[in-house]
Chain A
């Protein structure tokens, strides 16, 4: 039974290199989708960037486990649950009503900003838990089962929370707007 130190070095460095290469490809592909989810959860670009970074860091650390199934799902689940950590840690809500639109902005950009603000304001009305369910279920289009798995809650909780959350959003946004809803 023989071995040498070089053997180990090759093993460790080699697997590390492969892992990093695989992960970097994944991270580049997954980042935009994760950023969208993160922004919908936070309503804040900087926070969203940091959330994605944190989710990717954790995904990298768990890469063998993450890649063996669905790495994007793993990263998204991490991200959704991280949000809770940060909320709890910071003890303050990041979703606040955006400032009034400044005067004199050009119409197209103003509409876009207004739409963004409207959505952010509506999402901000939901509790963190409800918002996570609503974002994953409706805005990201996950199945109820996937949301339940991601958030570690029961299917029944997802159903009831999603339904309540949707009703709250509808009230906040004034129901399906005719011109948008029929698009």
Chain B
């Protein structure tokens, strides 16, 4: 036996003796895996449903895989914003130019308003006095939120609508523009005089702040996300996050789709605003909070320190300016839908699917999903499946809100790509709940209207769409495609959501239910109708 072999035998024996008893609980593995929302079911099965099962549910149907509504028809996107395409990244050097005193022009704002941007601190000067705010910028993203104000500006929190609405920023000559989620300008910042000093405020606050090393450090690009971690996108971090080991005082942070966050170290509540720029670059502001001694965990402080967010398996990793991990958090539930919004953000990436929430609230127009494509290969589809139906469409290149007439109940969401074999598909299928607290969904089906309705159209060539200024006119425009001679009567199915931009109509031929027609509107060019199902075997 060689010396090496002998030594290895010795080493192995030593290891056998040394390895302690380690109890690994495997019962948590599957639930934890599911919590990652990367449970892979048969994505292809859902894709198949999209084709096979469509049309059983009135109001949700499919032709050639395209059933989504045009963006022009959809409500404004209120969920996690993604940058309008035309935004130009702002370099660190150029960002330094933000540190200054700016005259603000914004709707609803008086003429005597300035914004003083200092590292980590913004001051809004108004005629009533001053308001203190937090702010942060990335390459294009902006986050700002009020922290405190002097009494002259009111007993309750004054509204600074343009600051709350600002999601992006761009240089504009020697000044700046602040843009809202849709890319509309909400404020412009110009060099134009200085505010009058205020008796309650240090005189230096009425002057531009120093552009110094501290400012350069504060505005510098944070260190890149270390290898092995996946940079987080805004849609993927929505929801409640806690420390992995439960603490009795329940410290947490919760990131909401409206750009606000709140949290607690277990005893002190905190809140602020947040955004995620490219490559997990995290923008965060913090508001005022109490300072009660606490047996908890300083999650809000850690969040406020984070400059990048990334994922390590199912942990959300908070990284500071230097790329050092300052915290690791575990997902603890979905984010409540922001008020007035019922949009679920779904992101397909090259090898993952992120669904920001476990539940979606139906509105009168249906179920709104903000579809994001974050590097998914060309030809990748988003597929939805539900009891009795399904839909799918190719991912858009830019974030787009789609509306679906999904009934209350389970909704399965998956991504698929015909070039990726099913058994190698990296994408999970995630199930979320569609809830309809207002009872908007009408369960009437085309069967209820006398249409057997479970037959995919047999015509090989789709006739030209019917078009018209009203849904009925569009349906009637299509009728010649069914053959001239018979007498036709059309009626709209009441099923589905009342204000859905997709309607299902039933065509009776010579008094017998014959076919269904789907009617879309893009809100501009009137209505388009195309045949969907046959009520009888062809």
Contact = CB atoms under 8 A, between A and B. Distances in A.
A3 B49 contact: yes
Contacts of A120: 18
B52 A3 contact: yes
A59 to B, nearest CB: 9
A105 B312 CA distance: 40
A136 interface: no
Contact of A54 (B14, B313, B386, B388): B313
Contact of B386 (A5, A35, A40): A5
B474 to A, nearest CB: 27
Given A84-B228, A181-B6, A57 B32 contact: yes
Nearest to B322: A91
Question: How many of chain A's residues touch chain B, expressed as a range?
Answer: 35 or more
Nearest to B57: A5
Given A12-B46, A24-B30, A88-B228, A176 B24 contact: no
Nearest to A13: B41
B1 to A, nearest CB: 9
Main secondary structure of the interface of A (DSSP, over half): helix
Interface in B4-18: 4, 6-15, 17-18
Contacts of B521: none
B389 to A, nearest CB: 6
Contacts of A58: 313
B26 to A, nearest CB: 4
Contacts of B107: none
A116 B18 contact: yes
B160 interface: no
A57 B33 contact: yes
B456 A1 contact: yes
A152 to B, nearest CB: 13
Contacts, number: 178
A26 to B, nearest CB: 9
Nearest to A12: B41
A112 B32 CA distance: 35
Given A8-B49, A85-B312, A53 B228 contact: no
B471 interface: no
Interface in A79-101: 82, 84-86, 88-91
A45 B10 contact: no
B416 interface: no
A85 B226 CA distance: 9
B69 interface: no
A2 B41 contact: no
A15 to B, nearest CB: 6
Given A35-B22, A139-B15, A9 B387 contact: yes
B41 A3 contact: no
B200 interface: no
B42 A15 contact: yes
Given A20-B30, A24-B26, A58-B313, A4 B56 contact: yes
A91 to B, nearest CB: 5
B313 A8 contact: no
A16 B41 contact: yes
A37 B46 CA distance: 38
A164 B38 CA distance: 40
B49 A53 contact: no
A57 B229 contact: no
Nearest to A123: B15
Nearest to A84: B228
B45 interface: yes
19 contacts: A3-B49, A12-B41, A23-B29, A23-B30, A36-B22, A38-B22, A45-B22, A57-B32, A60-B29, A65-B424, A85-B229, A86-B228, A89-B312, A115-B17, A116-B17, A175-B7, A176-B3, A176-B6, A176-B10
Interface of A: 1-9, 11-12, 15-16, 20, 23-24, 27-28, 31-32, 34-36, 38-40, 45, 48-49, 52-54, 56-58, 60-65, 68, 82, 84-86, 88-91, 112, 115-116, 118-120, 138-139, 141, 166, 169-170, 173, 175-177, 180-181, 183
